[in-house]
Structure 1
């Protein structure tokens, strides 16, 4: 098993921020969604995730640095020479098979070494160490539609073993965020609690919506007539189409706002965002309209206007 510090490419005295930056960089590089069919990248992603999981937990990191657990989080077994250092029993007596004193001292040894993680278990008069450990966390990736991520949804995740998890995706979740499903990881050992399922959310881009912070931006085409004369148009929002008014004389690039139509309000007092609609004038089929061309030829000479005057160029 590789050293987790080497997997993440950080020094042993790396700060939490150093670990987080290294993890994000490598996770993005090796993520299975960005490397479809690449088994090596998938294995590296798992190794990076496992290393970060261990080192981001202060207790586990400390125990690893002290040599109490290995890179998988498993208790290290003392080597045989260490056991021989404790070969003397009480009052100078040596351990021997079936001796009650042997069992007591054996359990005392494990209690001292592992801080109570081993406990005695009687089975027909005998005794033996039983390890109690929390189950390992399992990491998954869940791809969510853009609008589902904005509005919130429940999505079913198919696991490699054929089982499924129903994942509640909260409204407004951002790409790359990790959801934790408690108790949905690997089962514990010796009665220990199960691990958790850590689900990284990947959001698919939308064909015309763009998220900026808690606001949504969309470009909406308007006709020449709508731009000049104004009028009502239908625009898409995260909850469905709505009607809004285009002011007279609107240029391409004019931005209108729909209050509260951005990312919905969320936990921690997060306010609802707005939706910004940028107008884009499209001439459309009128570009080949002979009547429109004739009108403009007659209209333009009496309505001189230089839209490029702000660029500082001489007419």
Structure 2
């Protein structure tokens, strides 16, 4: 049976680049590898794919193949010998290449950065506006002082694992009809650490770490808002094998205020005013974040009118200056009027041409007729 064209086997054209050939081989070898694919023809297809790759990935062999095809005039052809004695490498060798590992493995004894921590705290409205310095208690894992994180009893050291020789991995080699298969797995003797602690530290019991309450001085900047997150570098969990600690992230929750509301860097509030104040005008005192200020209410002010107090808002967290305070005028309708007050209001309404209760009644009668046809 004649052999298929090597380019056809890999699904490529003759102008394929070296990288194209490598990518195609990775994809198809992973698909037909005997360790993965249990189909009856998987072995034959894997053999065909590997033979095509062996030739096309070598510039000299490829050049000869492009000129003469499957018949190599110097070596008697490209057939047959590409598979025998091949080392499939199990999941530890060839699959490393599939997933970009290139056969390289991480050092189990390399320093490892500690985990980050998150802490949520609640502060008062004005503390968020003006900032605050305070101490907080954070439970976290720290390096054991007695063994300096090694986990070994004071005066001793961890020993290199005799099984994996410090690599943290074991190799199991199997000779099969398809070639030599090498599987790598985590060393069961040292659990992938590469070292064994024979005499454990009495303080941390061999873990190299301890749970402690850490006192941290925190500076809350002026202008911080609800939901803000502050990063405190190096105050997270301790690293492993001399690695740096993680970071601490403090999430800020701000309590609401009984009088003020905040939108960004601006403050909003409402002030109650009487009918006389808005009709005649007045000068009132308005609370701000820094104390009371005087505000002029012009005659004829309508309820819902906003007045702006420039620079009386929240300090800008990322910039200069402050926001503003917006004061909303709310006219309060008097209740429990005396008879004298009622008469005065009626007289005022008549003189100003406003509808009295009787006139309003006729207006509602007209509305009722319009909508109900009465």
Shorter-normalised TM range? 0.5 to 0.7
Q: Which residue of 2 aligns with 1:102?
A: none
TM-score norm. by structure 1 comes to 0.53
Secondary structure, counterpart of 1:288 in structure 2? coil
What value does the CA root-mean-square deviation take over the aligned residues? 2.7
1:154 and 2:133 matched: yes
Structure 1, gaps ≥5 residues long: 1-80, 86-110, 119-129, 307-312
**Equivalent of residue 171 in structure 1, options 200, 208, 222:** 222
User: Residue 151 of structure 1 contacts residue 238 of structure 1 at CA under 8 Å; is this kept in 2?
Assistant: no
In structure 1, how many angstroms separate the alpha carbons of the residues matched to 2:338 and 2:291? 34
Considering only CA atoms, is the larger Rg found in Structure 1 or Structure 2? 2
* Shift in Å, 1:112: 4.2
Higher helix share: 1
User: Residue 217 of structure 1 contacts residue 275 of structure 1 at CA under 8 Å; is this kept in 2?
Assistant: yes
User: Residue 224 of structure 2 contacts residue 317 of structure 2 at CA under 8 Å; is this kept in 1?
Assistant: no
**Equivalent of residue 281 in structure 1, options 320, 331, 356:** 331
* Shift in Å, 1:290: 3.1
Q: Which residue of 2 aligns with 1:272?
A: 322
Q: Which residue of 2 aligns with 1:7?
A: none
Secondary structure, counterpart of 2:315 in structure 1? coil
Q: Which residue of 2 aligns with 1:194?
A: 245
Larger RCO (CA under 8 A, 6+ residues apart): 2
* Shift in Å, 1:162: 4.1
- After superposing on structure 2, the runs of 4+ consecutive aligned residues of structure 1 that deviate more than 4 Å are none
Larger displacement relative to structure 2 (193-202 or 162-171): 162-171
Equivalent pairs, count: 188
Q: How does 1:197-208 map to 2 (within 5 A)?
A: 197-208=248-259
* Shift in Å, 1:181: 0.5
1:113 and 2:105 matched: yes
1:257 and 2:308 matched: yes
1:246–1:155 CA distance, 2 compared to 1 (3 A): farther
Structure 2, gaps ≥5 residues long: 1-89, 94-102, 140-211, 356-363, 368-374
TM-score norm. by structure 2 comes to 0.45
